[in-house]
Amino acid sequence: MLLAKLMLDSKHTVILTGAGMSTESGLPDFRSVQTGLWQQKDPQRLASTHALQYHREDFISFYQYRIRTLRQCQPHAGHRILADWEARGLIQTVITQNVDGFHQQAGSRKVIELHGSLRTVRCARCNQSDESEAYLDDTFSCTCGGFLRPSVVLFGEALPAEAVEQAWRAAEQAKLFIVLGSSLQVSPANQLPLIAKRNGAQLVIVNLEPTELDEWADLVIQNRKIGDVLAETDRELERRI
């Protein structure tokens, strides 16, 4: 299998994961929510700084839904394979656009979260952090009196500068850059594969549907579950090592 060979030949492998990695755990993409509270409402508007300030009740309901749904899902085999590969030195960094914390839950340690985490909430005033279960307990106020909000990047906010800088550096250092389940439509994450490629890395894109960067890739795998691709690659690695 070519992916296994590319991994064995690489001295520095970086992974970028998108929503497709999470949906295989049964976690819905919030943008596609169509029923109940979300009928005729725009989830992007509900996940924005505008909603935080002017539509707080809907904002809270939206994130209670997301946190509750997250608690009903678990990392899948693909997450655990990536964690094992990290422990074995086969991959060096996981960059993720996801906010579910599944990589860390599966055992990955070197994870860069570009869009923050839904696992915690933080005070909009003093920045103190707490577990996101607070939202499920209808706790929305910090001890300082500030409003508790999920520790995710909202529409209208910039990505955390430190995470972006770390992701850029990882892409520049990569000898093999593997995209898993990202449509590569969201900036700046969609620039990372190009940065890696321009610095001499080989590029692999695993996604159900085509992406705009497929023409840059050395290997494109479509119409397959990420977990299946990783499991197959893992068996081939075991056979070769």
Active site residues: 115
Map residue 130 onto helix, strand or coil: strand
Element (H, E) at 38: none
* Contact of 196 with 177, CB cutoff 8 Å: yes
C-alpha–C-alpha distance, residues 217 and 225, integer Å: 19
Give Cβ neighbours of residue 115 (< 8 Å, ≥ 6 apart): 97, 98, 99, 152, 153, 159
Query: Which residues 6+ apart lie within 8 Å of 216 measured at CB?
Result: 193, 194, 197, 203
